[in-house]
Chain A
Amino acid sequence: MNVLQWRPDWFPNGSVPDSPFLVFGISEEYPLDRDLLEKRYRQLSLLVHPDFADKCINREEVLKISARVNSAYRLLRSPFQTLLWLGSEKFGSDFNPSGVKPKPEFLMEMMEKQDEIAALDGSIQASLSIKNEILTVQSSLLSQMSEALKAQNCELMSLLVVEYNYYERLRINLEGKFA
């Protein structure tokens, strides 16, 4: 099924495509057309959600299709998950971030940041400034990933993913501290 053919009531052979992009008939690129994604997700949901799905199809199948559509949407709503998916699509098994060791300087930096978070005394101002810093770095990492993807640089892409995950952990720790 190519992008132009997308119709909300039709999947090839009655099964949901593996590519989350194809589920919604949008092109496999980053950044994606967010408005189109939202619109098609709503269109599709009105058809495949169990509340409306064809009662002739067996229930297990209905549930599976609806869950697949929801998962595809959730993946595409996350820029990081979207890039990860595109990475494995493009590089196949070469793309293996869990096998990458970050540089020692980077790890030192992360440890310092973690100490900084641990030492926070509840000041909203200070935590907000750290949070913004993390978000800025993450957003820059995402653009770099997108570039690495275009440049077909699998090694760089993997490293960026690892770094992104470190920042994600910092962000979660920070939020946990103020939950």
Chain B
Amino acid sequence: MSVIVGIDLGTTNSLVSICQDGVPVVLTDKEGNGMLPSVVTYTKDSVLVGNEAKKQFLEYPDRTIYSVKRLFGKSYSDIKNSSIGLPFQIGGDNSKLSIRAGDKELQPFEVSAQVLAKLKSIAEKALGKPVEKAVITVPAWFDDTQRNETRYAARLANLEVVRILNEPTAAALAYGLDTKQTGKIAVYDLGGGTFDVSILDLCDGVFQVLSTNGDTALGGDDMDQALVDWMIKKAGPDLILDAESRIAMKFAAEQIKIRLSDKDEVEVKLDFAAKNLNLQTVLGREEFETLINPLIQRTLTSCQRALRDSGLELSDITSVVLVGGATRVPAIRKAVKEFFGKSPFTGINPDEVVALGAAVQALVLAGGRRDVLLLDVIPLSLGIETLGGAVTKILLRNTTIPVSATEEFTTSVDNQTAITVHVLQGERELVEDCRSLSRFKVKDLPPMPAGLPRLQVSFTVDENGVLSVKAVETRSSQSASVEIFPSIGLSMEAVDKIVEESIDHAMDDFELRMLVELRNKAERIIVATDRVWQKAQSLMGKEEMTDLEKTLNETKAALKRGEKDKELMQNLVDRLGDLTRPLADKIFTSATEDVLVGKSVAEI
């Protein structure tokens, strides 16, 4: 029997687990930590993951990447107007997204791959043997693109994904086996960045998902963000809002949130002089609950929809299970209790329950037990584009998988010799509101009048949630088919290529690479100089300062307009280097002091 581990790849924390003698346990590192913060720091010559990386937040705010799961399956245009509040730089266009970590450009899955690789090594050390296969959990409400991004991450970490498992389903599995309960249960899963609710029927070892709903952009992070917004408002207009002050406030917000779980009020003291962030106030639990109430209401709307789709009444639900660290917030517990009319079950650690369930499924898939079966559903409807940009659904959301369905379509134009099948995912009626998964053509049709061709389109979703689509024109027997995984967006080979290409391309385009490096260099100098600006006033002569300021402004303007002239950028960087060199050791001292100030913030 091969070793298959269960992995909960979370927005804020990740865990790896396995069944030992049939009982799921979380594997720990040598310090005994089971939870690995999903944080990665890219220093100049090494990559740090987990707690080591988390320590770097304040020193390297622009190189420390976290909450990257929220960026899965997103393009830059998807997120640029949202209040996602991440302090590191995100770039890209309407088809892709990249993260800047110092001088590295990364895609979100590359960052997650580092977390997975670390979990793999924790598991290998704990078990004393190689680990090559895993069941990895994802939010139930993840669409295909987001699921695939998870697969890419695993691929880069050298892990074979034997199953992508929905988080609330995994939780239900752990819960059901632990309590030996049967009945209809609701799983309320509020993680760091995502919210899911699933309703399941547990009986005779079969865990049947009846419905699922959620929001992939709603979680504990958003509560922190609500607190950060509140701090920004309180801090006043002089606050310097940058990566460092954001990080400091996020840290403080996390602490405040956690403390308010068992205190009625907390003192908020932030003293970060360099950023004009001086806050001394008290925040009561009630005020905090008002701040996060809109978020809670959004989760309840999802609960309402899941309940409706399950075809059950509130009174049919026999128990409610809470999953995810954010469900420790009392206001959440209260809201869930009021909604479902019963006290939620909290017997299993909400941080671990998903990973434990993943370990059980791993055991089942390794052939270790035959008395437990998960019957999961497709979370979102699948269909194709029809006349006028409408979407005709072929498989409805919450249909149990595996599933297969066929529908017949025809043409609306005379003598069409090819028909394009555009595969879409989502609940909305129009193509533009759904996620496009794939487009393929049935070609070489004999010319026929409109309405005469009979195009049979079959959708099959297998037990892994992988969709394949086949289209046959039955009058001419022309056919075409596509497997949506792994061909949406990228195939596995394409993922491997991405990483190679990101290196290759830069090599090919030497000029461009030079330019990018110069820009990065200029940015680093600007950030460093800004940081010590006030001290520099007293340390340098007036003339030098004026020169420096002039050059800085010139450089900022060049960066802003995306200057492409390499010579010009080189000249600016050289001048900046000359002007700031005398300041170098002062910059260093200053930077250390700033970090110290920052640390006191985190330890409020």
Q: Chain A: residues with CB nearer than 8 A to chain B?
A: 38-39, 42-43, 45-46, 49-52, 63-64, 66-68, 70-71, 73-74, 175, 179
Once the chains bind, are B365 and A74 in contact (CB under 8 Å)? no
Q: How many whole Å from A31's CB to the nearest CB in chain B?
A: 16
Most buried by A among B204, B305, B402, B463: B402
Residue among B373, B400, B462 making CB contact with A73, cutoff 8 Å = B400
Once the chains bind, are B402 and A74 in contact (CB under 8 Å)? no
CA distance A179 to B204 in the complex (A): 34
Once the chains bind, are A45 and B463 in contact (CB under 8 Å)? no
Once the chains bind, are A63 and B375 in contact (CB under 8 Å)? no
Residue among B204, B206, B208, B404 making CB contact with A67, cutoff 8 Å = B404
Known contacts A46-B373, A51-B373, A70-B401; decide if A63 and B206 are in contact (CB<8 Å): no
Q: How many whole Å from B161's CB to the nearest CB in chain A?
A: 15
* Per-position binary interface string of chain B over residues 364-390, scored 1 when its CB falls under 8 Å from any chain A CB and 0 otherwise: 110000110111000000000000000
CA distance A66 to B462 in the complex (A): 9
Q: How many whole Å from A44's CB to the nearest CB in chain B?
A: 10
| Additional A-B contacts beyond A51-B463, A73-B400 (14; CB < 8 A) | A46-B206, A46-B371, A51-B364, A51-B374, A63-B460, A63-B462, A64-B404, A66-B402, A67-B403, A68-B404, A70-B403, A74-B399, A74-B400, A175-B308
Residue among A39, A45, A74 making CB contact with B373, cutoff 8 Å = A45
Once the chains bind, are B370 and A50 in contact (CB under 8 Å)? no
B-side binding surface: helix, strand, loop or mixed? Answer: mixed
CA distance A52 to B399 in the complex (A): 20
Q: How many whole Å from A23's CB to the nearest CB in chain B?
A: 14
B305 / chain A contacts, CB cutoff of 8 Å:
179
Known contacts A49-B463, A63-B460; decide if A42 and B204 are in contact (CB<8 Å): yes
Once the chains bind, are A71 and B463 in contact (CB under 8 Å)? no
CA distance A43 to B402 in the complex (A): 16
Q: Chain B: residues with CB nearer than 8 A to chain A?
A: 203-206, 208, 305, 308, 364-365, 370-371, 373-375, 399-405, 460, 462-463
CA distance A18 to B370 in the complex (A): 28
3 nearest CB pairs, A to B: A67-B404, A42-B206, A50-B463
CA distance A39 to B205 in the complex (A): 11
A175 / chain B contacts, CB cutoff of 8 Å:
308
Residue among A39, A50, A52, A73 making CB contact with B402, cutoff 8 Å = A50
Residue among A51, A64, A70 making CB contact with B365, cutoff 8 Å = A51
CA distance A46 to B399 in the complex (A): 18
Nearest-CB residue, chain A, relative to B462: A63
Q: How many whole Å from A67's CB to the nearest CB in chain B?
A: 4
Once the chains bind, are A39 and B204 in contact (CB under 8 Å)? yes
Once the chains bind, are B373 and A52 in contact (CB under 8 Å)? yes
A45 / chain B contacts, CB cutoff of 8 Å:
206, 373, 375
A-side binding surface: helix, strand, loop or mixed? Answer: helix
A179 / chain B contacts, CB cutoff of 8 Å:
305
Known contacts A38-B203, A39-B204, A63-B460; decide if A46 and B370 are in contact (CB<8 Å): yes
Once the chains bind, are B462 and A50 in contact (CB under 8 Å)? yes
Once the chains bind, are A66 and B206 in contact (CB under 8 Å)? no
A63 / chain B contacts, CB cutoff of 8 Å:
402, 404, 460, 462-463
Provide a sorted-by-A list of 28 A–B residue pairs whose CB atoms are within 8 angstroms: A39-B204, A42-B203, A42-B205, A42-B206, A42-B208, A43-B204, A45-B206, A45-B373, A46-B370, A46-B371, A49-B463, A50-B462, A51-B463, A63-B404, A63-B463, A64-B404, A66-B402, A66-B463, A67-B403, A68-B404, A70-B401, A70-B402, A71-B403, A71-B404, A73-B400, A74-B399, A74-B400, A179-B305
B365 / chain A contacts, CB cutoff of 8 Å:
51
Once the chains bind, are A67 and B402 in contact (CB under 8 Å)? yes
Once the chains bind, are B400 and A70 in contact (CB under 8 Å)? yes
CA distance A68 to B401 in the complex (A): 10
Once the chains bind, are B203 and A67 in contact (CB under 8 Å)? no
Most buried by B among A39, A42, A51: A51
CA distance A169 to B401 in the complex (A): 26
Once the chains bind, are A52 and B370 in contact (CB under 8 Å)? yes
Once the chains bind, are A67 and B460 in contact (CB under 8 Å)? yes
Nearest-CB residue, chain B, relative to A49: B373
B375 / chain A contacts, CB cutoff of 8 Å:
45, 49
Nearest-CB residue, chain A, relative to B205: A46
Most buried by B among A50, A63, A68: A63
CA distance A51 to B365 in the complex (A): 6
Nearest-CB residue, chain A, relative to B374: A51
CA distance A28 to B402 in the complex (A): 25
Nearest-CB residue, chain B, relative to A60: B460
Q: How many whole Å from B301's CB to the nearest CB in chain A?
A: 9
CA distance A45 to B402 in the complex (A): 11
CA distance A138 to B462 in the complex (A): 34
A67 / chain B contacts, CB cutoff of 8 Å:
402-404, 460
A64 / chain B contacts, CB cutoff of 8 Å:
404
CA distance A42 to B182 in the complex (A): 13
Q: How many whole Å from B542's CB to the nearest CB in chain A?
A: 65
CA distance A50 to B364 in the complex (A): 12
CA distance A67 to B462 in the complex (A): 8
Q: How many whole Å from A62's CB to the nearest CB in chain B?
A: 9
Q: How many whole Å from B357's CB to the nearest CB in chain A?
A: 15
Nearest-CB residue, chain B, relative to A59: B462
CA distance A170 to B399 in the complex (A): 23
CA distance A175 to B399 in the complex (A): 19
Nearest-CB residue, chain A, relative to B361: A51
Nearest-CB residue, chain A, relative to B461: A67
Q: How many whole Å from A119's CB to the nearest CB in chain B?
A: 22
Q: How many whole Å from A164's CB to the nearest CB in chain B?
A: 17
CA distance A67 to B468 in the complex (A): 13
CA distance A38 to B560 in the complex (A): 64
CA distance A45 to B365 in the complex (A): 15
CA distance A51 to B364 in the complex (A): 8
Q: How many whole Å from B376's CB to the nearest CB in chain A?
A: 11
Q: How many whole Å from B543's CB to the nearest CB in chain A?
A: 67
